[in-house]
Structure 1
C-alpha cells in the first residue's frame, strides 16, 4: 500500500513539477543567449511578490483564471476540448453587464440576476457547439474556435452606442451597474480588496470535485470520457453526456468574468480582459484537471503575470514571464507524456512481479531467494 501511494504521488506531482523545471531551465537559456543574468529576474519577481498589494492582485487574477480552468476541465474530463471558453466568458460578461445596468433590485437579487444571466449565456453559447457535435458530428475544437470569432463580432456589435452601448471618451461601455449589483469584497486596507467572487470560485472548485467523484453523474461523465463505447454498453447516453458537459462548461465559463465585473469594473468595456479562456487551458493542463492542482496553477500563472511588471524597472523585459508561460504549456505536454509512460512501465513492472510471485508460490519456489524446495 505504501508503495502504491508513493507511485500515485510521483504520478500526480511529477508532471507539473517537471513542466515548471523545464520551463525555468529553457527560460534561463533564453536569458543567457540574450546576455542577461539567468537568475536575477526570478529573484526580482519573488521579491516584488512579497508586497501585500501585489499579493492581492495575484489572488484576484488567480480567481479569474481558476474559474476559466474549471470550465475547461469539465470538458477535459469528458474528453472534450472546449477552446471556446474565452468567447463564452466575454459574451456572458457583456450580456450580464447589460442586464445588471438596466435594472434596479435589492442587492442579493441584483447580484443573483447578473450571475444567472452570465451562466445562461455561457451555457447557451457552449451548447451550440454541443448540439453541432451530437447532431452533426462537428468537432468541438473547430466549432468553439469559430464561435470565439463570432462572439467577438457579436460583442463588438452590441456594445455600439446605436445598440446597447455607451460612449465614454474613447471607450465603449455597457453602462455602470448600480452599487446594489456589486459583489462585496474582502477589504485589506492599504493592500487593497480581494474580490469576494474569489471565494465563490473556491466553492465552485469544491463543487466540481464533489460532483465528479461523489455522484452518479460524475461517474458517468468520467466513464464516457475514458471510453465512450464502454459507457454506452453500460447504459449511458453518450450524446446526452456530451451536450450536458458542454452546457456545464459554458455555464462555468460565464462565471469567469464575474470577479472583475462585480468586484472591480462594474461595467463591460473594450478594455475588459481578453485571453482569459486560453489561459484557463494552461491552468487546467498544469493542474491536471484537479481542483487543488488548478488552484496552484492559477496562482503560478497569476504570479508570473503580476510580478513581471517589476522587470521593466530593472533592465529586463517583462515578456520574460510571457515566454515562461508559453514554455510551461509546451513543457506540460512533454512532461505529462513522460510521466504517463513512466506510470505504464511501473504498472507493467508490478504486474510482472506479481505474476512471478504467484508462479513461484504455485511451483513451491521462494520468490525472494529463488531456492527450489527439494522433493
Structure 2
C-alpha cells in the first residue's frame, strides 16, 4: 500500500539529475588534483618531499587549533566570495571589492572608536556603517555605468587606487589617527569601544569567531534572494540577457545600480570579522587583497553559496597550513603556486566538464530520438 507522500518523493528524486551533480563536483575536484600534481612536481624538482609537505599541512589543518584557524579565515573569505559572486550573477564584474572593504573598514573603525553605546546598538551600528560605505563606493561605479556607459571593470579598478589615496590622506596623525602632545600612537585609528567586541566561541583549539553565524546568514539570504524572490529572478534574467530582460519589463539600469550597491554592501562586511574580533583598530597592518581573493573563491565556487563555502574552506586551509611549511624547511611560496594553479585549472576543468556534459546531452537526445523513430517504425509494421 502506497502513501500519499510517495509520489511526491518519487517526483522529487526524479528532478535530481545525478549526472549533473557529479559533473558539477568533477570540475573543482579535478582542478585541485591537477594543482596538487603540479605542486608535487615543483617540490620534487626543488629537492623536497611533496608527501611530507602535504602531510605537514594536513597535520596542522586537522588539529583542533588548525581547524579554528581555518574556520576563522574561511569566514572572511566566504564574505569576500559572496560579495563578488552577487555581482557576477548579474554579469557585473565588481573588481573593486578590495577598495570597498578597506574604506568601509576604516569608516567602521572610526565610528566604533568615536561612540560608546551598548553592544546591541554599537555592533549593528558599526555593521550598518560598513555596509553603507561599501554600497556608496560601489554605487559610484554603478552610476558611471548606467549614466555614461563606463565599464565597471575599469571604474572599480580606478576606485581601488582612489581608495588607497583616500586612506593615505585620512589615516594620518591628527585626522583619524590619534595624536597627543606631539606623540603619535601609530598610523592607525583609535581602539574601538569594548562594546563593539563581537562574541567568540571558546573551543579546544582556541577562540572561534562568532561572526561565522553572520556569514551563514549572508549565504542563506543570498540563496533565498536569488531563488525565491522576484528581484533574484530579474537579477539572473538581466545577467543572462539585458535585452530580453528589458523586453519583459525589467528596468535594467536600476537593476545594475541596485546590484552594484548590494555587492558593495556585502563587500563592506569583509573586514568586519578581523575588526570586531581581533584587531579593533584600522591601520597599516590590515590585510589587503581580500577582494581579489574573493574573485578566485567565487570563480571556484561557481557563484553559488554552497560552492563558495567549499572554496573558502579550501583557500583558508591552504593559507592557514601554509605557514607551517617554512618551519619544516619547505618554501612558503608553494601555497601561492597551489592557489594560482587551482584558479587556472578550475577554468580549464569547468570548460572540459561543460563540453563533456554537452556531449552527453546530445547523446541522450540522439538516443531518445532514435528510440522514438524505432517505435514509430514498429507501429507502422504492425499496422
Regarding TM over 0.5, the answer is: yes
Q: Is the 8 A contact 1:159 1:166 kept in 2?
A: no
Partner of 2:207: 193
Q: Is the 8 A contact 2:173 2:184 kept in 1?
A: no
Alpha-carbon distance in 2 for matches of 1:66, 1:31: 29
Alpha-carbon distance in 2 for matches of 1:363, 1:169: 91
| Structure 2 residue 174 is matched with structure 1 residue 162 | yes
How is 1:202-221 mapped onto 2 (pairs within 5 angstroms)?
202-221=216-235
Alpha-carbon distance in 2 for matches of 1:250, 1:314: 40
Partner of 2:347: 333
Q: TM-score, normalised by structure 1?
A: 0.94
Q: Is the 8 A contact 2:31 2:346 kept in 1?
A: yes
Alpha-carbon distance in 1 for matches of 2:295, 2:327: 30
Partner of 1:33: 45
Question: Bigger CA drift: 239-248 or 32-41?
Answer: 32-41
Partner of 2:195: 180
Alpha-carbon distance in 1 for matches of 2:171, 2:69: 28
Partner of 1:74: 86
Question: Bigger CA drift: 161-170 or 208-217?
Answer: 161-170
Offset of 1:374 from its aligned partner?
5.5
Partner of 1:126: 138
| Structure 2 residue 242 is matched with structure 1 residue 233 | no
Classify 1:171/1:25 alpha carbon distance in 2 versus 1 (closer, same or farther; 3 Å).
farther
Partner of 1:83: 95
Alpha-carbon distance in 1 for matches of 2:351, 2:81: 20
Offset of 1:360 from its aligned partner?
2.6
Classify 1:25/1:182 alpha carbon distance in 2 versus 1 (closer, same or farther; 3 Å).
same
Partner of 1:373: 381
Question: Bigger CA drift: 219-228 or 343-352?
Answer: 343-352
Alpha-carbon distance in 2 for matches of 1:357, 1:347: 15
| Structure 2 residue 304 is matched with structure 1 residue 296 | no
RMSD (Å) for aligned C-alpha atoms:
1.7
Question: Bigger CA drift: 32-41 or 232-241?
Answer: 32-41
Partner of 1:270: 284
Offset of 1:38 from its aligned partner?
2.5
Alpha-carbon distance in 1 for matches of 2:60, 2:122: 38
Question: Bigger CA drift: 10-19 or 263-272?
Answer: 10-19
Alpha-carbon distance in 1 for matches of 2:256, 2:374: 48
Alpha-carbon distance in 2 for matches of 1:11, 1:150: 42
Partner of 1:136: 148
Offset of 1:362 from its aligned partner?
2.9
Runs (5+) with no aligned partner, structure 1: 366-371
Q: Secondary structure at the match of 1:186?
A: strand
Partner of 1:64: 76
Partner of 1:258: 272
Alpha-carbon distance in 2 for matches of 1:22, 1:3: 32
| Structure 2 residue 263 is matched with structure 1 residue 249 | yes
Alpha-carbon distance in 1 for matches of 2:71, 2:16: 35
Alpha-carbon distance in 2 for matches of 1:232, 1:345: 32
Offset of 1:373 from its aligned partner?
3.4
Q: Tell me the alpha carbon deviations over residues 150-186 of structure 1, each in whole angstroms, 9 at most, x when there is no partner.
A: 1111112111113221368784111111111111111
Question: Bigger CA drift: 259-268 or 334-343?
Answer: 334-343
Offset of 1:359 from its aligned partner?
2.5
Alpha-carbon distance in 1 for matches of 2:355, 2:184: 56
Offset of 1:61 from its aligned partner?
0.6
Q: Is the 8 A contact 1:183 1:197 kept in 2?
A: yes
Q: Tell me the alpha carbon deviations over residues 197-241 of structure 1, each in whole angstroms, 9 at most, x when there is no partner.
A: 111011100110011011111111111111112111111111111
Q: Secondary structure at the match of 1:146?
A: helix
Partner of 1:279: 293
Alpha-carbon distance in 2 for matches of 1:244, 1:342: 36
Partner of 1:100: 112
Classify 1:19/1:171 alpha carbon distance in 2 versus 1 (closer, same or farther; 3 Å).
farther
Alpha-carbon distance in 1 for matches of 2:40, 2:381: 60
Question: Bigger CA drift: 141-150 or 28-37?
Answer: 28-37
Runs (5+) with no aligned partner, structure 2: 1-12
Offset of 1:19 from its aligned partner?
1.0
Offset of 1:193 from its aligned partner?
0.9
Partner of 1:318: 332
Q: Tell me the alpha carbon deviations over residues 100-128 of structure 1, each in whole angstroms, 9 at most, x when there is no partner.
A: 11011111111111000000000011111
